[in-house]
Amino acid sequence: MSVKRYLGTFFRGRRLYIPVLLLLLAATVVGTYYLARTQYEATARIWVEKPALDNVLDPNAPSGFVVSPGQQQSDKLVQLLQTDSFVVSILTNTTASGRLTSVAERDRVIKEVRGKLAVTPFGSNTVKITYTGSDPAFCQQVVQGTIDQFRAWDLTARVEQSAIESQFYQKQLQIYQDQVDAAATRVDDFQRDHPFPDPSSPQYLELTGLQRELESARALLSATRTKIEQANAANALSDTSRQVEFQVLDAPTVPDRPAATLTRLLEYLALGLIASFGLIILAVVFATWQDTTIRNGDDLQRLTSVPLLDEIPHLKPDSIGGGERHDPVGARRSPKKTGSQFEEPASVYPSSTIE
Amino acid sequence: MPPQLPFRKTATAPEATSVSTFRNLYTRVLLGLQAQQHRVIGLTSAIDGEGKTTIASGLAAALAEDGALLGFGREPDTILLVECNMGSLPENPRLGIRPGPGLVQVLRGECELDAAIQTTGVERLSVLTLGEPAHNFPLAIRTATLPEVIAQLRSEFGLVVMDLPAVLNSSDTQVLARLADQIVLVVRAGVTPAKLVRQAVDELVDQLGEEMLLGVVLNDSRSDLPPWLDNRL
């Protein structure tokens, strides 16, 4: 179908389409105004650093740090927010805590919070946490709760990790200590049996081997002791280092004004405009598709090879024979002009009763 | 800047009166009929309500109005509009049609042909109404009298315009259309589905032959677009 046909459908139904379009646009404006007026936003920005002794504690970590600390912490927080327990822990200290009693209501609140809470890395070391809602105090509480819970989780995770590492190295230390003791005993026993072996004798070679085993065991023991000292040092540093590694740059405050930024308003308006026009276009396309009638000479020519003799405009029944044509455009024109352009008799054969 | 004439289409100009509106149509119709001395033209449509009576009336009135031009020096042609479509041309004081005998009575032998033909307020235009009772019309046209009546009308009038029933609604069209020299199919824009138009064309071509179908007239044609847009597309 040609563009003209679609346009024809639109203009033919303009008394329907244009009011609907205007209604949709008005609804968009009202909706945008309502959303902008009733939506509040609490935001916090957190500075995160890579843990100070991460490389020491984890020698297998890749040397080239591909993911930025901001991205890393943001990913962690996003993952945590996907767990119900974490979201519930955030909501425990908010005004929504009373809504967590029933399972259905709890799920609804969790879903709502997830939908409105945004965590985005902002640069390499900053994480931005934003909550948008209709209650300004609740917005602030959610963001603050998120920071608190995330910090607590991070601390717990690190402490637990340090403790596990410490236990692991302590066990390793015991094993290596036993190995050193065993190797030393073997060397002592051998030297007791062979006090001064000749360097060219096989006993001397065996003693040398035993001494090497002892040195190797001592080296492993020493390395393990070093790791334990580093883990302890990390634990000792935790309070101060974590303050540096996790700083709240902008603490969330209770918003006192709706979050009606120009960009957001324009976004809403643009979406509304696109949706409104899209709906009308779809309606016009559907109406055109449904219209199987002949509309013009082109339609007839496409349909049949029978010649088109003429196209007769819309006429009032009583205009046959020279009466006034029933045409809104023509009706607005000056009768004087009509007479001067068409020098036809006013009436030839008036009939108001033909079909 | 030189003065410019305003844009207008001949057929759809709002100022156009019906004579000028139908002049283009009758010119094309007459060009299709010029080889014959006496001419009978039938107007039909796929379904009822497409404006075939409007077109037939307008065409007949315009032909009568311009009769002097058609005569080319001869006596101006007289035009007869024959109502073969039930209930389409009722009485109208302005037209001057009076209640009285019509085609049905003539075919049933109840009235002379000349007595049934009425003159109208338009010079050179006469009308032969359907007559009464209309329900007898289908039987009346299926007699041998009808071809004789049409032959007589051919000899008496310069052009006979038959307002026929719709092709897909009545089998009477098959009987009546055979007596015409040419058939014009009226299609109403925005009303007639394309499928029915094709069906009507196929039926006419099958029954009468392709040469009998002079052409199609698109009635009630109007552009839905505003002039400024229509001119650009």
Mind listing the pLDDT tens digit for each residue in B117-139?
988 888 888 999 888 777 778 88
Check pLDDT > 50 for residue A174: yes
Give A2→chain B minimum CA distance, Å: 10
Max mean pLDDT among A219-233, A306-320, B176-190 falls in: B176-190
- According to the model, what pLDDT value does residue A328 have? 33
Between B57 and A235, where is the model more confident? B57
Give B57→chain A minimum CA distance, Å: 7
Using one digit for the tens of pLDDT, what is the confidence trace for B196-213?
Answer: 999 999 999 998 888 889
Check pLDDT > 60 for residue A329: no
Q: B14, A330: Cβ pair inside 8 Å?
A: yes
Tokens found for residue B233:
């597309």
Band of pLDDT at residue A258, cut at 50, 70 and 90:
confident
Strand partners, B211: none
Strand partners, A129: A44, A119
Please give the average per-residue pLDDT across A97-117, as a whole number: 89
Q: A313, B222: Cβ pair inside 8 Å?
A: yes
Check pLDDT > 50 for residue B16: no
Give A272→chain B minimum CA distance, Å: 27
Between B88 and A172, where is the model more confident? A172
Band of pLDDT at residue A262, cut at 50, 70 and 90:
confident
- According to the model, what pLDDT value does residue B71 have? 53
- According to the model, what pLDDT value does residue A355 have? 40
* Of B16, B49, B61, Cβ closest to residue A342: B16
Between A307 and B92, where is the model more confident? A307
Q: B218, A308: Cβ pair inside 8 Å?
A: yes
> B24 contacts in A (CB within 8 Å)?
310
Please give the average per-residue pLDDT across A84-100, as a whole number: 88
Using one digit for the tens of pLDDT, what is the confidence trace for A12-47?
Answer: 899 999 999 999 999 988 888 877 778 888 999 999
- According to the model, what pLDDT value does residue A266 have? 86
> B12 contacts in A (CB within 8 Å)?
311, 313
Check pLDDT > 60 for residue A73: yes
Check pLDDT > 50 for residue B161: yes
Rg value, chain A, Cα: 42
Q: What share of chain A is helix, strand, coil (3-state, %, to 5)?
A: 65, 10, 25
- Strand arrangement, sheet containing B117-119: A308-313, B213-221, B182-188, B39-45, B159-163, B79-83, B125-128, B117-119
B71 touches chain A (CB under 8 A): no
Check pLDDT > 80 for residue A52: no
- According to the model, what pLDDT value does residue A287 have? 92
Count CB-CB contacts under 10 A for residue A189. 11
CB pairs < 8 Å spanning A and B: 212
Q: What percentage of chain A reaches a pLDDT higher than 90?
A: 27
* Of B15, B53, B198, Cβ closest to residue A337: B15
Check pLDDT > 60 for residue A327: no
Between positions 234 and 293 of A, the ones with CB within 8 A of B are 292-293
Give A15→chain B minimum CA distance, Å: 12
> B223 contacts in A (CB within 8 Å)?
8, 296
Give B99→chain A minimum CA distance, Å: 14
ipTM higher than threshold 0.95 = no
Average pLDDT score over chain A? 79
A351 touches chain B (CB under 8 A): yes
Average pLDDT score over chain B? 80
Tokens found for residue B68:
């002097």
B206 neighbors B85 (Cβ within 8 angstroms):
no
Q: A325, B121: Cβ pair inside 8 Å?
A: no
Please give the average per-residue pLDDT across B5-14, as a whole number: 37
> B188 contacts in A (CB within 8 Å)?
294
CA A322 vs CA A149, A318, A339, B21, B48: distances in Å: 88, 9, 11, 9, 25
- According to the model, what pLDDT value does residue A323 have? 36
Please give the average per-residue pLDDT across A146-165, as a whole number: 83
Check pLDDT > 60 for residue A331: no
Check pLDDT > 70 for residue B6: no
